[in-house]
Structure 1
Amino acid sequence: MTSIAPVMRLRETVDHFLSQFRGQRILLYPNPGNAGDCLILTGTVAALDRAGVQYSVIPRQADVTGATVLVGGGGNLVPLYRDISDALERFLPRAARIVILPHTIRGHSRLLRRFNERVVVLCREAESLKYVRRINPHVETALGHDMAFHIDAEHLLARTDLTVRAMPIIEASLATAGLSLDSMRAMPRVRFMRTDIESTGTCSAGHMDLSATLGGVSCVASAEITTFTLLKIVSTARHIETDRLHVAIAAALCGVPCDLHDNSYGKNGAVFAASLSSFANVRLVESSRPANAWDRLTPDERRLSLRRDLRPKRIVKRIGFWARRLEGMVSNSMSSRH
């Protein structure tokens, strides 16, 4: 297992923040999603229990009138997804207070501008924090690391009740990819690569998409079993390569060497810089393809960029720039022919 020192440091901000709710009963809306979101929910419950906070898990349709609502952390508040933004649209007019647990945030600018003094936004990396503060400088914000870091992996993996319930799931899940725990132990490297819209498409195929295969959030109890399953599989590997953020976080918690590739919009790289760089066993793999700056811009940033580019002086400057580029390309082409 990994050293507890970096984990404790990464928990500090959220632990301190949650302590204000000790003895209160709050409502928790988990982030729906894949097995990585199960790690987030399991870590959230562990943090609430340590802080002495009572909670009730709610669906999006719940009545939150006059209540304090914790919205689960993760990477859902980006243009690719709407689960968390739709929930916030529903909660905002009714809740007495809303706390968004550590999240990666891109886009959704109209929603962010509606946040007022009743909303607190915890961002899990600096890029999100900077973005939220730019869109709405009046909302309360802070940097808080991913909630999966609140999991005590060693304690969880030692539980015999979870072992009994999870082993059939582990065997069946690995078998779909022609793997087993024994075969993984013999492999020098296991590749758990994503197959969804966040894939960059630049990495070769993996052995399996672990986070997608193991399923998503349904309740606290099932999330705990899925968390055990993912941690057990990851802890068995000798070396992992992945572009799944929570596979890398699981590797960090279990002390397994891990090479992490970025995802399509830079989330993994941002969280690595904020958190995972604290772990000696995890490294960020630089992309073989230069990052496309335009792809990483939010819709608001793209519109702002276009407005700047359409100013007369800007247009003249850009024409000059591309004229010089074209001249250089023609010159290089002519030189190569000779």
Structure 2
Amino acid sequence: MLVKDTRAWQPLRDALDALEADAPGAIKYVPNQGNAGDALIAAGTWQFFEDCQIAPRYSSTRDIVAGDTAIYSGGGNLVPEYDNCRDFLERCLQVGVARALVLPHSIRGHQDLLRRLDTRFTLVCRDLESLARVKATGTRAEVMFAPDMALYIDPERLFARCSRYGGLRMWARFARYGQLHTYAGWRMALRRLRPALGGALCVIRADAEATFAEPGDPRRDVPSFYGSQYRFREESDLVSRDLLAFVKSAYFVWTNRLHIGLAAALMGCNVRYLDNAYGKIRALYDAWLSHLPSVRFEGEKQRTPKFSLVMGTLGRTQEIGRFLASLKRQDYPAVELVIVDQNPDDRLLPLIEAYRPYFPIERVVSPKGLSRARNAGLQHVTGDLVAFPDDDCWYPDGLLSYVASRFELDAGLDGLTGRFVDENDRTEGRWLGRSQVLNRYTVWRGAISFSIFLRRGLVECIGPFDETLGVGAGTAWGAGEETDYLLRGLQAGGRIMFDRELVLRHPVKTRTFDEAARERQGRYESGFGRVIRRAGFPAWYFPWVCVRTLAGSLVALFAGRPAQARFKWHSVQSRIRGWRAGADSVA
């Protein structure tokens, strides 16, 4: 239970006692139709009913008749975006109920309806803004203040009750209400998306209440995977249990879904909230959650870690402008950009001057080579967190706030990495399927240079990039410098996590398997082969990665994709050349 103060719940308890006294055993309960978050509200409501020793009967709005005593479930439904709670109140006015109680709600708008309510009605507001708005309408209904019903949930009690559910009768009820297939799909979706133990979970809503500038992905908007009218208790209890079990393994949850955050807080996770379209999350946070050390709200005043972004660039101007524009949109208060300019002219100066009013930019000049550029830039960093954006990548809105949150909430986290997609949500490479702490075997599929964020202490411990590796090094080893860097960080004892929810933007380079793509991949693979040899992997590891790629080449060949087969075969050959070079001097 997240709100344990009995005084917070007492007004609602008294209201229910009064209803039961007026209509003993005859109260009708109308559940709030909605998503999995509404199941959490329903589960908390039934635990509260049990403790108040009342047992309302399930009903629907159309079944309310004259003289009834009715309760409508809590939630965020009495707002212009939805009409369920409004329809309930209109029905109660139309038929002439004896009493009607709306459990804790966020309430916005509906002034005309609220003014028509009389003393038979009780409206319970779950935030102070709703309380003020309702009172300002001049309604004659009784108005009170109480927590969201999900805050009453005792998870241990819920899990114990669910362990007793089962049998054909219960599943027949799922089938009767058309929810059997929906529930099976819900369980499968949760199993597919379950966060890694100790990992991060990002759930950004993709419906009418969404405001986040980078729209939520409907495929990962977990509460929307289940929808129901919740006409029997077992259903809401089981969906709530599933949701709690789903978030339990995450260390950190970043969301603008109110009840995803509440579920995570109930299970002891760290939560960072963004607001929804009409401000309900901020209002509830201020009213009931701000005392919880594990729950924070985006934009709260606190120590803000400073980012130092080191970008080497050569031959690009438009792409730099796109990155600078994305950095300006971050609206993050503590960031510095070190641009290591390897151009033979001053083409970047107008752009730099245009963006200097928004964040500090230092221009450094260095010889060509990406690793040389980063080493030159590292001499000028002053921040707490260091990153290495490419000159053709860009940051989604809110990215720096998200990364800062991960480091703030996990003092033992030394580094964070992510993945990328292009403007059409395409990617390349085989990324790890789950968020996880990296090791020397998973780092190859869990990082790319512009997605790496490291604490400055680990950067200082690792030292400089290997200038014989990477684009522009003047050697045969055209990549691998960031993997070498992370391997040295892991060897130094750094705890670096790959976070699948951390998604940056970058063009996809390998769209075809032509000669140019093969040559570029050959330079990359020779660098990887050299890194494997120098990092001291077991003798079996290098043959294994080569055989795996060779198998892919054969599969492509037999599938009638000769260009892709040649591409993979060339990759194996180049990797072997790099491995043979080993720790030799520059070729």
Q: Same fold, TM exceeding 0.5?
A: yes
- Report 1:295-306 matches (<5 A): none
Q: Is 2:190 aligned against 1:174?
A: yes
Cα contact 1:133–1:139 (8 A) shared by 2 = no
Counterpart selection for 1:123 from 119, 122, 125: 125
1:260 counterpart letter in structure 2: Y
* Corresponding residue number in structure 1 for 2:203: 192
1:258, 1:282 within 8 Å by CA — same for their partners in 2? yes
Structure 1 distance, partners of 2:139, 2:246, is 42
The percentage of aligned residue pairs carrying the same residue is: 32
Matched position secondary structure for 1:61:
helix
Q: CA deviation at 1:215?
A: 2.7
User: Helix, strand or coil: the match of 1:224?
Assistant: helix
Q: Is 2:29 the partner of 1:15? A: no
Contact 2:135 2:143 in 1 (8 A): yes
Question: Does residue 113 of the first structure (1) align with residue 126 of the second (2)?
Answer: no
C-alpha deviations, 1:236-283, integer Å up to 9, x for none? 211111110011111222221111110011010001111121322111
User: Counterparts of 1:169 and 1:12 in 2: how far apart (Å)?
Assistant: 39
Unaligned 5+ runs, structure 1: 291-332
Asked if 1:259 corresponds to 2:272, the answer is yes
1:50 equivalent to 2:51? Answer yes
Structural mapping, 1:155-170, within 5 Å = 155-158=157-160, 159-161=162-164
Q: Offset at 1:90?
A: 0.9
Of 149, 155, 170, which aligns to 2:151?
A: 149
Equivalent residues of 1:26, 1:70 under 8 A apart: yes
Partner deviation per Cα, 1:89-141 (whole Å, 9 max, x = no partner): 11123210111111111111111010111111110000000000001253211
What amino acid sits opposite 2:249 in the alignment?
Answer: T
Give the whole-Å Cα distance in 2 for the aligned partners of 1:265 and 1:233: 27
Q: Secondary structure at the match of 1:280?
A: coil
Q: Are 1:29 and 2:30 matched, yes or no?
A: yes
Q: CA RMSD in A?
A: 2.8
Q: Tell me how far apart the structure 1 counterparts of residues 8 and 262 of structure 2 sit (CA, whole Å).
A: 12
TM-aligned CA distance change 1:289 to 1:47, over 3 Å: farther
Letter in 1 for 2:292: F
Q: Distance in 2 between the 1:109 and 1:59 partners?
A: 24
Kept in 1: contact 2:64–2:70 (CA 8 A): no
Matches within 5 A, 1:246-285: 246-285=259-298
User: SS of the counterpart of 1:200?
Assistant: coil
CA contact (8 A) 2:203 2:255 kept: yes
Please state how far the C-alpha of 1:84 moved relative to its aligned partner: 1.0
Relative to structure 1, is the Cα distance of residues 186 and 81 closer, same or farther in structure 2, using a 3 angstrom cutoff?
Answer: same
Q: Secondary structure at the match of 1:196?
A: coil
Between Structure 1 and Structure 2, how many residues are aligned?
285
How far residue 61 of structure 1 moved from its aligned partner, in angstroms, is 1.0
1:160 is matched by which residue type in structure 2? Answer: S
Aligned to 2:224: 212
Take 2:120 and 2:130, find their aligned partners in 1: how far apart are those partners? 20
Return the alpha-carbon distance in structure 2 between the equivalents of residues 239 and 115 of structure 1. 43
1:95 & 1:16 partners in 2: Cα distance?
Answer: 20
Query: What CA distance in whole angstroms lies between the structure 2 residues aligned with 1:144 and 1:81?
Result: 21
Distance 1:132 1:261 in 2: 25
Separation (CA, whole Å) in 2 of partners of 1:271 and 1:185: 29
> 1:201 — aligned with what?
212
1:327 aligns with none
Kindly provide the amino acid, as one letter, of the partner of residue 155 in structure 1. Answer: R
Higher relative contact order (CA 8 A, sep 6+): 1
Normalised by the length of structure 1, the TM-score is 0.76
SS at match of 1:264: coil
Question: Structure 1: which amino acid aligns with 2:163?
Answer: T
Query: Following superposition of structure 1 onto structure 2, how do residues 311-330 of structure 1 map, counting pairs within 5 Å?
Result: none
Say if 2:274 and 2:297, in contact at 8 Å, map to a contact too. Answer: yes
Greater alpha carbon shift after TM alignment, 205-214 vs 256-265: 205-214
| TM-score, normalised by the number of residues in structure 2 | 0.45
Q: What SS does structure 2 have at the residue aligned with 1:262? A: coil
Q: Once the 2 structures are TM-superposed, how far is the Cα of residue 213 of structure 1 from its aligned partner?
A: 1.0
One-letter code of the match for 1:217?
Answer: Q
Give the 3-state SS of the residue equivalent to 2:60 in structure 1.
Answer: coil
Report the Cα distance in structure 1 between the residues aligned to 2:223 and 2:5, rounded to whole angstroms.
Answer: 22
Distance 1:5 1:97 in 2: 27
For the pair 1:222 / 2:238, whether they are aligned, the reply is no
Change (3 A) 1:53 1:79: same
Task: Decide whether aligned partners of structure 1 residues 7 and 244 sit closer, same or farther in structure 2, where only a CA change above 3 A counts.
Answer: farther
- The residue type equivalent to 2:117 in the other structure is F
What's 2:245 paired with?
Answer: 232
SS at match of 1:278: coil
Partner of 1:62: 63
Contact residue 154 and residue 254 of structure 1 kept, 8 A: no
Q: Distance in 2 between matches of 1:137 and 1:75?
A: 19
Q: Does 1:71 align with 2:82?
A: no
Task: Report deviation, 1:19.
Answer: 2.7
Counterparts of 1:153 and 1:162 in 2: how far apart (Å)?
16
Deviation at 1:74, TM superposition (A): 0.7
Unaligned regions of 5+ residues in structure 2, if any?
A: 172-179, 301-328, 332-353, 358-587
What is the identity, as a one-letter code, of the residue corresponding to 2:261?
Answer: A
Task: Give 1:65 shift.
Answer: 1.5
Secondary structure class of the residue paired with 2:56: strand
Q: Could you say which structure has the larger radius of gyration?
A: 2
- 1:286 deviation in Å? 2.5
Q: Kindly indicate whether the alpha-carbon contact (under 8 Å) linking 1:67 and 1:95 is maintained by their aligned counterparts in 2.
A: yes
Distance 1:257 1:163 in 2: 33
Change beyond 3 A, Cα 1:22–1:137:
closer
Q: Distance in 2 between matches of 1:11 and 1:149?
A: 10
Moved more, 39-48 or 186-195: 186-195
| CA distance 1:285–1:97, shift in 2 (3 Å) | same
